[in-house]
Structure 1
Amino acid sequence: MKSKKIIMLTAGILLLGGIIIAGAAAAMGALTKTGPVLQTKSFPSEGVFKIDIDLSFDDIYITTKDTSEIKVTYYTGKTKDYRISTEDGVFTMQTMPASELNKRWYDYIDINFRNTGRVTVELPKDLAPEFDLHTDYGDIKATNLQGTVHASANAGDIELERSAFLKLECVAEFGDIDLEDVSADVLSADNSCGDIDFENIVSNSMRFSCQFGDISGTINAAKSEFTISAKTEFGDCNLSNQANGLYDLTAENECGDIKIKFNRP
């Protein structure tokens, strides 16, 4: 009698296991039917004065070329889509909230291993708009831009190079800020947990602030041209304060070094 119960229990377990495997197979079948789809859209740039991009899990890459259009390239999938529009002079791209996608739990199991978390935006070379760029869990990278930029990343790096801005603001929570061959009338970089690095930058007014990380780089100017205010609570600082300069440089660090050099004597 006991052996019969064991046989029946074993059969029940095998049956239940078969049902689970069948269900999982069906779910995986649903997963493999549709992978990420590469999308490209173009919009006229005439009259556009602002670029507003707010993403959740994607890197933002911005470049310029000889064109009259704004071209955006991105991936969509069962669990990812975007709102993209140009209206009243503002180009907008936002990650669509998950609540609007109406997906099931297994739709969020990603078995595709391609790099689909990148949004690339190509702009006309002569376009100098106001940029408002934000990503929660991605990097922001841009080259050859002009205009006014506010760039923020919660958990990612911000990298800008070969660009000339009227005003530049960079804010990072957990990631690095890197600037190379960048000029701006007014420039600020704030980092909570990460480094601020720059090379060959030019600005009339610069402010660097860091909580946990280093501030280091080179400025394409002479030290004597600046009014300098620099201090670190826990770390080394190679700058001494000075007044009566034409331009302003402020560097503040709570836990990290400040090492800034000037390219001209």
Structure 2
Amino acid sequence: MEQKNIYYSDPGITQNESVVLRTTTNSTATLVALKHNIVRPAGGGEPCDQGLFCFGDTHTSIVSAVKQQGLTWLMLSKETPIPNEGDQVSVQLDVNHREQRRRLHTGVHIAIRSCLNVLGGEIKVTEANISEDASQATFALDTSTPIDRNHIDMIVSMINQVFIDAIPVEATKAKSVDDARKQYGPLFRLSERHELSGKIRLIKIGDFDINPCAGLHWKDTAIGPCNLNIAPSSNGLSGLLRIMRYTEKET
């Protein structure tokens, strides 16, 4: 029976029922693989989903998720009773954590593109991470362009305008990095931190930005009220993005 990871096809799903494909244990955890999985493992600077694994009278926190043996495994505490293969179970994600991560991840893409547009030339992204609790995202880049207050003001202004414009964000694919470069030209950017081969997943923000990414994103660039702090660093600049408490749900 094949596993389907549905967090890409519908990142708005935060709870589902499924059946157990396989179970195993190691020295520290019980591991369960589900037929229909909504839990995204950590990766690409984005932390793992948080939430509950439920079956029968058992409701236990999902410690983490890992990919191995061609499956995504949910890691549960060692003390968790082991369900049987074929058992019906359910997963309830922490909705706020998932939505905050998606908003922050889109915000980081917007910020990095804005830096590139304002500074021009070559920039090297050295950091792009979302905190484990999804409360904030940090990013940093190196550039040969001397940074002054005017640069910072222009970058912040561009970021805020993109937030207001609510540009659609969509996932697409390309056969290779070279094909993406040919198709999208200067709109396409690729971080030097990653070496990619074969088919790639892309996150496209209208005619503003397109970048290889395996993370989850918000539906558009209207990511909600946020606090943004960008400052010069020794080799370029660094930034901190926080999404303020936001109650509007994705439609």
Shorter-chain TM-score category? under 0.3
Give the TM-score normalised by the residue count of structure 2: 0.25
Higher relative contact order (CA 8 A, sep 6+): 2
Give the TM-score normalised by the residue count of structure 1: 0.24
Higher strand share: 1
Higher helix share: 2
